[in-house]
Amino acid sequence: MQDRFKGILLTRDDARTLHVNVTELGLADLMDGDVVVRVDWTTINYKDGLAITGKGPVVRRWPMVPGIDCAGIVETSSDPRFKPGDQVILNGFGVGETHTGAYAAYARLKGDWLIHRPEGIDGRAAMAIGTAGYTAMLSVMALERFGLAPSRGPVVVTGANGGVGTVAIAILARLGYHVIASTGRPEESDFLKGLGAAEIIHRDELSGPAKPLAKERWAAGIDAVGSHTLANVLSMTSYGGAVAACGLAQGMDLPSSVAPFILRGVALIGIDSVMAPRALREEAWARLARDLDRDKLAALTTETGFDGIIPGAHALIDGKVRGRIVVNMAQ
């Protein structure tokens, strides 16, 4: 293990101005934990983009090493569940927000936050999936628990070009669903259809103020956008359907009414990927190993090195990224 290593450090001065620096760190700069992981792969999620650009109040402790996901090798461990050489995955638990994160060569973490990487998914694929893809699977599983099946009708996926959206489309299509992809980038229609989308609609159809009830268009939805978009998705969900809400790209508000819930029996299911219990995480990752087409995962993934994290975060927030960015920390 290196005594000193490269990492990204976010600081804030007395004027609350954000500073993003590539710097040299040591283990003493990392927060407490019982497992030290060598970070081999990480990724850039929407939260990471918000943290690095300062466009959202993601970081709640300063200074902070950002990065909410990693896949790597255990270097040292005082947790009996993990031993040196184990291959592990981290998603969430406030890492990169309140606990120093993955944008460094090493991360010191709590064993409770880690899972062993399942067979069939290598470190690169794990971070091509990342929190975004893992959230997409949690959303699919939640809809299945509600009783959704392909025979019920179409599923709409909002934010279709994003990390959650692209993985959700690929999973749903493989499971046999008719997928309607909502996107603000119609020039990406061929890409989305390649992932398995059967129909493409422009996000403008959903981004304005919603009627209490609108024409029924789909049996279910996976929404990573929130605000008016989620309100419209709910108003257009057919009787007895359900919507899994997992994001807030348009906003945290929900300018809707009770009409979809009490007149059509629609369910709104909240998806939390950050604090999900271990058993649910392990189930989601086992499902990803089985139900996510590797060729489609490769098609929605681009790779960069450590030096690409900061510009990649800005590109993501500016809406210039489709799918997932995986970061090879050895580059």
List pLDDT tens digits, range 291-329: 999 999 999 999 999 999 999 999 999 999 999 999 999
pLDDT for the residue numbered 1: 84
* pLDDT of amino acid 192: 98
Cα–Cα distance, 327 to 127 (Å, whole number): 8
| Spatial CA neighbour of 59 closest among 4, 104, 25, 9 | 9
For the chain, residues with pLDDT lower than 70 are none
Q: How far apart are CA 127 and CA 330, in angstroms?
A: 14
pTM of this prediction exceeds 0.85: yes
Sequence-ordered alpha helix ranges (H) in the chain: 46-53, 123-146, 163-174, 189-195, 204-207, 227-235, 259-263, 278-291, 294-299, 309-317
User: What pLDDT sits at residue 147?
Assistant: 97
Domains annotated on the chain, with CATH: 5-117+300-328 (3.90.180.10), 131-270 (3.40.50.720)
Q: Which of 325, 289, 281 is nearest to 89 (CA)?
A: 281
